[in-house]
Chain A
């Protein structure tokens, strides 16, 4: 079946233009040469490409899967073609600097474009996205000759890239990384195994550049002894031509729930003592280097969760309009009616609509902040403010959107009844593909620990304060809004409660770490609900303004109603959930392992 991917262009532009005024980014120095209409064109072109070029890969990839023969992974030829197109037309390095083959568009455009490409085919878009991530690390941290050697070829799609962190005994806990780098002149000999490496081997490109975490021989134990290395699959001569294979072997590929077209590989480095790697950045600073990029990668994971939810929702909506079943409960129409007329189906649709729009707005807002955080003049107070906001909201976006994105897919499937469970409709695949988002790029459990620990306490509480200030300002500005003031006041009450609970939990982290760690995840979800309400109310107030000027239509009333519905049905639950985070009961900790 073709044409799975669905996205509402107006929803996207309403956030970009009416809510964020993204064209204002063009006044930042880095973007002086840009104009809003060029950004619009990028979005429109990305929508076209997502629909025409990438969406068909979703089904092609699912059918083909991953073919693993004699240590080599083979992908559908259409994937190869699409990857080449991405590279040649500038999409891999679209937000990177022109000096190394990037296109110089705002950082947020990468997120917006990924919204479309991941929505069309998650499994495929991981390849260009990982290539970007690996090349970006090299561009940021490696020495000049390595940058010149690798980065333009990667942004140009000639070579691909991967991120190799995970090992059998180093998943969430990278401190336990065992892969080792032995000094050998101007380079290192790499030895070790990595698992679960996405796009670790394939035939889309003639070379693959692995960015791997390894410990230099004799480096200190723990996180402070890990460095980052560039390890090509095929050795590269100084002139950029390819040499001998670099002793990197793909030992197996995983069979898994979803992402069937994305090879998840076990890689062995230096099994024959012939694997050469180059240090990327400073010795023993591998993790901080990696984590500098990780923020961006986490917004990217959020965007995946959201966009799969988005296309699942719109597929369910189309189905609900067409499927005739049952009678109108109030007899408003004679005969059998489309299921969209049933209040219980509408309940699901409205919930999904609000979830998707709220998550998209949250993510685009975070992405917008990332440009301000990175491109406002260094040292300015504003820049620090946006930095703080971005740091704080990143684990919220990552965990909330991946968690809820999966759930939206599940509800979308529910709307189709038994048909949703079949492969005749695309939703079951979205559901399977979406599950990965809560696992990789730091599990959601780890995100909640990061938020309620490091982020709450970060910069003496300045990160949290930036977040709170932003929301408080919104509440104060709008609490007397004629139509939505009531909803804003509810948000204000919940924000106050959230602040109390979060500060209390931050204290508890030292005084009662076990109880603290028992409730970090529900606390993160409360932050998510509140952020969603804020973004949805903001959209609603903008839509109300347009309506007041006599320009309103169902699109705008949809924005208003989804906000009042979300605030009215979700925030009371959030309030209750916040209570539970503070409950004195200690079952989670005290129940013995045998009692489970």
Chain B
């Protein structure tokens, strides 16, 4: 089974996000970057499928040089090779352009299943996975919490939560699956894994190598324009309901909701 995982780097939640002076972007200098948590589920699922069926896992990242760090982390978790799409023209690209670049990079390598995160925790778009499937002309299943590849490796059955219910969907392979929290518990990289990761191949590809036209990427080519970024309003202090027993707490809570918040 040939499995591809697309991987994005996002600011770690421990980083303090600060707006850039232009009011439309964030300051990137002092951020700690990590693998998008949803992509980690993708890596883990890919490894589990490989452990069951054999084959190889290729991780494709996109962005500046620092993204290799996250690709190496995936390699240390057990992926087999890495590809970094890196080109100065990428800076400022939107989700559709990102998907286009990814499609160009994966189309020439054999694949049976492709994982992406269901969205990046930074931009919260949720576009790249489906758009990648469109560019490749294959089906996609988004926001997936369970993946079962058939014994013959020709199709996949997925669970997708909808409105408190579970939708079970099936698709022939190859297909794109976008991973949702709950799909699995991603493993930590082990020390032997870190040792081995060093020897695994990690290729860097520019637009020229992928035959892409730089003018279709970057800030200028965006379909989605950011008009303004504002920090969320400061949260007001919460209130802890006191009481000696759960019953008295519940009573007090009901009173507060009724009399102060006036919601019930």
Contact = CB atoms under 8 A, between A and B. Distances in A.
B227 interface: no
B150 interface: no
Given A9-B14, A9-B32, A555-B30, A37 B69 contact: yes
B188 A103 contact: no
Interface string B186-200: 001111111101100
Nearest to B68: A37
Given A41-B72, A42-B191, A45-B188, A35 B32 contact: no
A376 interface: no
A171 interface: no
B195 A41 contact: no
Q: How many B residues touch the partner, as a band?
A: 10 to 19
A103 B72 contact: no
A553 B29 CA distance: 10
B234 to A, nearest CB: 11
A431 B94 CA distance: 50
Main secondary structure of the interface of A (DSSP, over half): helix
A21 B181 CA distance: 38
A34 B189 CA distance: 16
A105 B192 CA distance: 10
A156 to B, nearest CB: 11
A60 interface: no
Contacts of A37: 69, 72
B194 A38 contact: yes
A33 B197 CA distance: 12
A42 B194 CA distance: 8
Interface stretch (A87-95, A290-298, A576-584): A87-95
Interface string A96-112: 00000001110000000
B76 interface: yes
Interface in B245-260: none
Contacts of A94: 191
Contacts of A34: 198
Max count, chain B CB within 10 A of own CB: residue among A34, A40, A89, A94: A89
A105 B191 contact: yes
A48 interface: yes
A45 B192 CA distance: 13
Interface string B32-76: 100000000000000000000000000000000000010011001
Interface in B95-138: none
A53 B190 CA distance: 14
A87 to B, nearest CB: 11
A49 interface: yes
Nearest to A6: B14
A509 to B, nearest CB: 45
Given A9-B14, A37-B72, A555-B30, A90 B192 contact: yes
Contacts of A85: 188
B191 A48 contact: no
B191 A89 contact: yes
B202 to A, nearest CB: 11
Interface string B220-257: 00000000000000000000000000000000000000
Contacts of B72: 37, 41
Contacts of A9: 14, 32
A317 to B, nearest CB: 13
A24 B44 CA distance: 33
Given A9-B14, A103-B195, A41 B190 contact: no
A90 B191 contact: yes
Interface in A47-105: 48-49, 53, 85, 88-91, 94, 103-105
Given A9-B32, A35-B198, A41 B14 contact: no
Contacts of B197: 38, 41
Interface string A18-45: 0000000000000001110110111011
B30 A41 contact: no
B30 A553 contact: yes
A45 B30 contact: no
Contacts of A553: 29-30
Interface string B73-95: 10010000000000000000000
A384 to B, nearest CB: 31
Given A37-B69, A37-B72, A41-B72, A91 B191 contact: yes
Interface in B1-41: 14, 29-30, 32
A45 B69 CA distance: 12
A308 to B, nearest CB: 20
B188 A41 contact: no
A89 to B, nearest CB: 4
B103 to A, nearest CB: 29
Contacts of B193: 89
Nearest to A53: B188
A53 B187 CA distance: 11
Contact of A41 (B29, B32, B192, B194): B194
Contacts of A45: 73, 76, 188-189, 194
Given A38-B198, A41-B73, A41-B194, A89 B188 contact: yes
Nearest to A555: B30
Given A45-B188, A88-B190, A89-B188, A38 B195 contact: yes
Contacts of A38: 194-195, 197-198
Contacts of B30: 10, 553, 555
Nearest to B190: A89
B190 A90 contact: yes
Nearest to A551: B29
Interface in A106-151: none
A57 B85 CA distance: 40
Max count, chain A CB within 10 A of own CB: residue among B73, B194, B197: B194
A555 B15 CA distance: 13
Given A37-B69, A41-B197, 12 more contacts: A34-B198, A35-B198, A38-B194, A38-B195, A41-B76, A41-B189, A42-B191, A45-B73, A45-B188, A53-B188, A90-B192, A103-B195
The 6 closest A-B pairs by CB, nearest first: A90-B191, A89-B190, A103-B191, A45-B189, A41-B194, A90-B192
Interface of A: 9-10, 33-35, 37-38, 40-42, 44-45, 48-49, 53, 85, 88-91, 94, 103-105, 553, 555
9 contacts: A37-B69, A41-B194, A45-B194, A49-B188, A89-B191, A89-B193, A90-B191, A91-B191, A104-B195
